[in-house]
Amino acid sequence: MICMNRDELIAKMKVTAAQKPTAVTVPGWGKVWVRSLTVDEVDAQDEDTNDKKDRTRLSRGAARLICDENGKRMFDPENPEDVKLLAAQPWNLVQMVLAASGKQTEEAVAGN
């Protein structure tokens, strides 16, 4: 096992923090760009739903993932109309988006 020092770890973390969006083809939607969530975004969503049962958690999570090719969000997780539209989508299509985001993170980590 190779040990790294703090500076090496920080350099690797900067690479994984700067991930570019990944394209995924979703039936009926076409090419959709997906980004990975940051720890900060996951914490924010957890904080939003901490004291209540949130039936929009997954829809808002998808809103945080779907972006344009430059990483700019296409949906606002705080916009009720955006969240409602995502909530009405077939689960298998939203799963493709969620899976693509997770795969993107795995590939970035494997590349280091």
Instruction: Say if 18 falls within a structural domain.
Output: no
**Quick check: helix, strand or coil at residue 25?**
strand
Instruction: Say if 1 falls within a structural domain.
Output: no
Q: Which is more confidently placed, 4 or 23?
A: 23
Among 81, 41, 85, 86, smallest CA distance to 59 is for: 86
Tally of structural domains, the chain: 1
Q: What distance lies between CA 111 and its chain's CA centroid?
A: 19
pLDDT of residue 28: 96
Tell me which residue range forms the domain holding 100.
24-110
Average pLDDT on 8-15 reads 89
pTM above 0.85, yes or no: no
The answer to whether residue 10 scores a pLDDT higher than 60 is yes
Instruction: Say if 89 falls within a structural domain.
Output: yes
Give the Cα separation of 27 and 99 in Å (integer).
15
Q: How far is CA 2 from CA 10, 13, 106, 111, in A?
A: 16, 17, 20, 16
The answer to whether residue 90 scores a pLDDT higher than 70 is yes
- Residue range 18-71, pLDDT digits in tens: 788 999 999 999 999 999 888 887 787 776 666 556 788 888 889 999 999 999
Average pLDDT on 72-82 reads 94
Instruction: Say if 43 falls within a structural domain.
Output: yes
The answer to whether residue 96 scores a pLDDT higher than 70 is yes
The answer to whether residue 106 scores a pLDDT higher than 90 is no
Concatenated DSSP letters for 42-97?
HHHHHHHHTTS--TTHHHHHHHHHEE-TTS-BSS-TT-HHHHHHHHTS-HHHHHHH
pLDDT of residue 68: 96
